[in-house]
């Protein structure tokens, strides 16, 4: 499947629904592919970082010039990167927003199992200054005055675009007349409207993107031009993970790891101070302009498990929530981890990020749990992921109750992260996993 998604120098998340290169998809796909094709895995990241902006931003989409404008919305004619921003590359069109910084972690892990360590070391040497610029962008441009955490300016930057975690901030948007330019949704040509965001959600997405674009993607004026400024437990949790990986990459390439460790520590401390709520024992997203925390319990609240320095108390509280009936379907053949509280208002087992299980969020939580020695729960998540893809295929997302697949099929990271997960199982886990798969209906 990954080979079929390869288009010469990068991969497509889906040939139909997502016909360009996406940032965090590329990191996931490179990591999975690296177990059997180191060279293409490196090339995937290289292509992405060749489209990096001069201010360090890694765009969330790199457009394929041979794909028609009407194949995906919003395409290059909407973002107009090369003419709107002095920072955007001139030789390739990209979107004007970013996505979670999982790349340093992927690159480090790829290096750890590289069959050709010399080529891998040379690649890391090439990538390191680009990763540094990417993280400087997050820490400098994305921490407007008074903010200790990196903020997102758009739900698409979270990668969990339609999550109820952003509902409050989106509901409060006041969209002026004419604020939403006319547009045609292209996703509905390939996806069932029941699985995709509503038209109302799309209007808000388009309004926010157009407003940021019309400012010339000017981060110096973020507070004025971006009415959605959110620090997220997943966005910032991944930032701690990637800064920690960056420190390790620095040591490998002969640079000084200390500044990256200090940055990781700063974000770690800010997550605890600003996103952690002791009384409820939960992490939540923070709308930074108004200082409001989201009250919805979504899968993003578990992602600080990716922070290696999280204290045992916080890990235990997160694990309690993950084990609760809110995130465990009440039937023995159900699947974890739903993207939204099963009892939450508006939970929807098939709509994009509002309930279904996704392989990448499962993989992130599995990684975080293993890092904190929570092996049993990690194994349950791994087993759910493998049962899902074995039973129904590499769909984009799945019903937590009966495992039905939704969104696009042949979805890149569902395949790639399955490879990574299988490769990392120890012999005992592998045996137990095979036993569970042998009894699949």
Is 91 assigned a catalytic role?
no
Among residues 25, 187, 236, 396, the one annotated as catalytic is 396
Which CB contacts under 8 angstroms, 24+ apart, belong to 326-329?
A: 326/297, 327/299, 329/400, 329/401
Per the CB < 8 A criterion, the answer to whether 195 and 352 are in contact is yes
The sign of the torsion formed by the CA atoms of 33, 34, 36, 39 equals positive
Among residues 161, 266, 348, 429, the one annotated as catalytic is 161
Q: Which residues would be at the binding site for ligand 9WN (CB under 6 A)?
A: 13, 18, 22, 24-25, 60, 156, 159, 161, 187
Per the CB < 8 A criterion, the answer to whether 424 and 113 are in contact is no
Is 46 assigned a catalytic role?
no
Minimum CB–partner distance for residue 280 and ligand 9WN (Å): 27
**CA–CA dist 342, 337 (Å, integer):** 10
The sign of the torsion formed by the CA atoms of 255, 261, 264, 266 equals negative
Chain-centroid distance of CA 148 in Å reads 21
Q: Which is nearer to ligand 9WN, 78 or 128 (CB)?
A: 78
Any idea which residues carry the catalytic annotation?
161, 396
């Amino acid at each position: 499947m990954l080979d079929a998604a390869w288009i010469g120098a990068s991969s497509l998340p889906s040939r139909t629904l997502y016909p360009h290169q996406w940032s965090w998809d590329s990191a996931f796909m490179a990591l999975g592919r690296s177990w059997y094709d180191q060279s293409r895995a490196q090339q995937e990241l290289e292509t992405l970082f060749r489209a990096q902006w001069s201010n360090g931003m890694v765009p969330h989409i790199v457009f394929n010039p041979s794909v028609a404008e009407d194949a995906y919305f919003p395409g290059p004619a909407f973002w107009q990167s090369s003419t709107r921003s002095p920072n955007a590359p001139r030789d390739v069109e990209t979107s004007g927003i970013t996505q979670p910084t999982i790349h340093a972690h992927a690159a480090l892990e790829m290096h750890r199992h590289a069959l050709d360590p010399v080529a891998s070391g040379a690649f890391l040497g090439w990538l390191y200054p680009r990763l540094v610029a990417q993280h400087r962008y997050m820490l400098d441009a994305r921490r407007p005055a008074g903010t200790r955490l990196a903020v997102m300016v758009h739900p698409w930057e979270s990668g969990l675009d339609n999550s109820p975690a952003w509902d409050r901030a989106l509901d409060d948007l006041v969209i002026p007349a004419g604020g939403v330019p006319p547009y045609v949704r292209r996703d509905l040509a390939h996806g069932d409207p029941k699985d995709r965001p509503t038209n109302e959600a799309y209007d808000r997405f388009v309004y926010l993107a157009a407003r940021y674009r019309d400012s010339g993607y000017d981060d110096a004026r973020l507070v004025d031009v971006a009415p959605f400024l959110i620090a997220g437990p997943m966005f910032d949790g991944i930032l701690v993970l990637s800064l920690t990986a960056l420190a390790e990459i620095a040591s490998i390439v002969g640079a000084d790891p200390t500044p990256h460790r200090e940055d990781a520590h700063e974000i770690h401390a800010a997550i605890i101070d600003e996103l952690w709520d002791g009384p409820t024992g939960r992490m939540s997203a923070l709308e930074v302009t108004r200082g409001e925390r989201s009250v919805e319990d979504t899968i993003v609240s578990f992602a600080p498990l990716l922070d290696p320095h999280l204290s045992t108390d916080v890990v235990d509280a997160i694990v309690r929530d993950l084990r609760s009936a809110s995130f465990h379907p009440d039937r023995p053949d159900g699947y974890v981890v739903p993207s939204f509280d099963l009892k939450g208002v508006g939970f929807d087992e098939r709509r994009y990020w509002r309930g279904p299980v996704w392989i990448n969020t499962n993989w992130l939580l599995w990684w975080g749990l293993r890092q904190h020695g929570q092996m049993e729960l990690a194994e349950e998540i791994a087993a759910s992921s493998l049962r899902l893809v074995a039973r129904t295929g590499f769909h984009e997302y799945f019903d937590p109750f009966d495992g039905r697949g939704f969104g696009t099929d042949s979805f890149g990271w569902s395949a790639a992260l399955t490879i990574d997960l299988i490769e990392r199982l120890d012999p005992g886990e592998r045996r137990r996993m095979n036993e569970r798969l042998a009894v699949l209906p």
